[in-house]
Structure 1
Amino acid sequence: MADTALREQMCLLAKSLFDRGLTGGSTGNISARTEEGGLLVSPTGTSFGRLDPARLSHFDAQGNLVSGDAPTKEMPLHAAFYDTRSTAGAVVHLHSCHSVAWSMMPGVDPDNFLPPTTPYAIMKLGKVKLLPFFRPGDPAMGAAVRGLAGKRTAVMLANHGPVVAGKDVEAACNAIEELEDTARLAMMMRGYDANMLSPGQVADLVTHFDVEWDT
């Protein structure tokens, strides 16, 4: 995708996420690979609802900032996904309410953050790793992602928000929306004896859709 079209797509999808309340204020950040191997990144302190395509932070293939405003302080987090997952074409991080709420609940499995409510989070995300709380902007977040050795497409930062890598911007945005929807269902069903997908049904989905499923 040409640079201009990619810039516009990033801003359009970010605004859609903002307009539907999936991240608010100046929270969240988004990045995408360019055709020449560099990165376009949302600038620090900006709102998803008002991103300017011309002011996105532009890094070349060597990691040098060549144009645009200063990038998000979460660059180590984004870089960790790109460096460990060769298929990553975009990374999205939100402060979405229900996923943050679910990260605070006792008894949540840190190795498989989302319960098997529907097939779609399994198909789009595989297992989501719950990471501990880090101060926003702490490079240790990137180190924690690197420690997963590229085996996860998504992580949940406890008390903070989800981070998802996808093959492109649209795929990453679709997947992070599925993560938030699944967390919302989990919160709605908490305390009920809900009928979740069985281990056999999960295994069938993983096999049929060739899902990355770290064991």
Structure 2
Amino acid sequence: MSEPHEDLVRAGARLAASGLSPGSSGNLSVRDGDTVLITPTGADLAALEGDALSVVGLDGVHRAGPRPSKEFPLHLAFYRRDPDAAAVVHLHSRHATAASCLPPWSERSAVPPLTPYFVMRVGTTPLIPYADPGDPAQADAVARLPFPFRAALLENHGPVTAGRTMSAAVAAATELEEVSALLLLLGDRTPRLLPPGVAASLARRYGSPWSG
């Protein structure tokens, strides 16, 4: 079994290679007990080193390593609201960021159930009101939402996903980018969505949160 820091480094390289993390944008973290390993501020996801990660407690205290990404409160909010979450991925990927600039589909999900894989791998994806990057108020907004979700779009900023493994968080981020691209391709046309019963059934079968 690989170590958490190895999972994080591999995920960074994969996301960078797929074009989902341009430049030094984006940040990743993994939870290891009561501590969180997170990419340092300004880190290039393509060039991460396992022994040069920041270490932050779930209490928000910087414990070791370089200065953590300013988005660490956002990561901690996902861990605090979901004890099963073991990894968080925040990107500025093109299509999901574009979708974050649009009005949400519903009060609970910015993105509609366009495809079964979106429901299966991502699920409910609320639009979190705008705050400057790193503003703890945005983390508070994530923590306060009273329904389950493991992904969100930060208004005019980009996507964030959580998973029980780093692979699951990366898969969710990748799927969210893909469904956002489809949404943009559809433009002003009215899409045919998955029927509510189908979306609910898929969510139950695959253990994803879906409340539409």
TM-score normalized by structure 2? Answer: 0.91
For 1:43, the equivalent position in structure 2 comes to: 40
Compared CA separation, residues 112 and 54, structure 1 to 2 (3 A): same
Contact 1:23–1:96 at 8 Å: present in 2 too?
Answer: yes
For 1:206, the equivalent position in structure 2 comes to: 203
After TM superposition, the structure 1 = structure 2 runs for residues 166-185 of structure 1, keeping only pairs within 5 Å, are 166-185=163-182
Cα distance per residue 1:17-71 (max 9 Å; x no partner)? 112111211111111011x431111001111111111100123566543332110
Q: Give yes or no for the alignment of 1:137 onto 2:134.
A: yes
Size of the aligned set, in residue pairs, is: 212
Consecutive unaligned residues in structure 1, runs of 5 or more: none
Alignment partner of 1:25 out of 23, 30, 42: 23
For 2:161, the equivalent position in structure 1 comes to: 164
Contact 2:203–2:209 at 8 Å: present in 1 too?
Answer: yes
For 1:69, the equivalent position in structure 2 comes to: 66
Matched to 1:160, the amino acid is: H
Contact 1:38–1:63 at 8 Å: present in 2 too?
Answer: no
Three-state SS of the structure 2 residue aligned to 1:40 is strand
Quote the Cα distance in structure 2 between the aligned partners of 1:142 and 1:106: 20
Compared CA separation, residues 152 and 47, structure 1 to 2 (3 A): same
Q: Cα offset for 1:79?
A: 0.9
Quote the Cα distance in structure 2 between the aligned partners of 1:184 and 1:204: 24
Consecutive unaligned residues in structure 2, runs of 5 or more: none
CA RMSD of aligned residues (A): 2.0
Matched to 1:104, the amino acid is: C
Q: Give yes or no for the alignment of 1:52 onto 2:49.
A: yes
For 2:87, the equivalent position in structure 1 comes to: 90
Alignment partner of 1:122 out of 108, 116, 119: 119
Matched to 2:49, the amino acid is: D
Quote the Cα distance in structure 2 between the aligned partners of 1:28 and 1:76: 14
TM-score normalized by structure 1? Answer: 0.90
Contact 1:74–1:137 at 8 Å: present in 2 too?
Answer: yes
After TM superposition, the structure 1 = structure 2 runs for residues 142-157 of structure 1, keeping only pairs within 5 Å, are 142-149=139-146, 151-157=148-154
The farther-off stretch of 150-159 and 199-208 is 199-208
Q: Cα offset for 1:153?
A: 0.9
Alignment partner of 2:110 out of 110, 113, 116: 113
Contact 1:84–1:149 at 8 Å: present in 2 too?
Answer: no
Quote the Cα distance in structure 2 between the aligned partners of 1:113 and 1:149: 16
Matched to 2:195, the amino acid is: S
Contact 1:110–1:131 at 8 Å: present in 2 too?
Answer: no
Matched to 2:34, the amino acid is: G
Q: Cα offset for 1:150?
A: 6.5
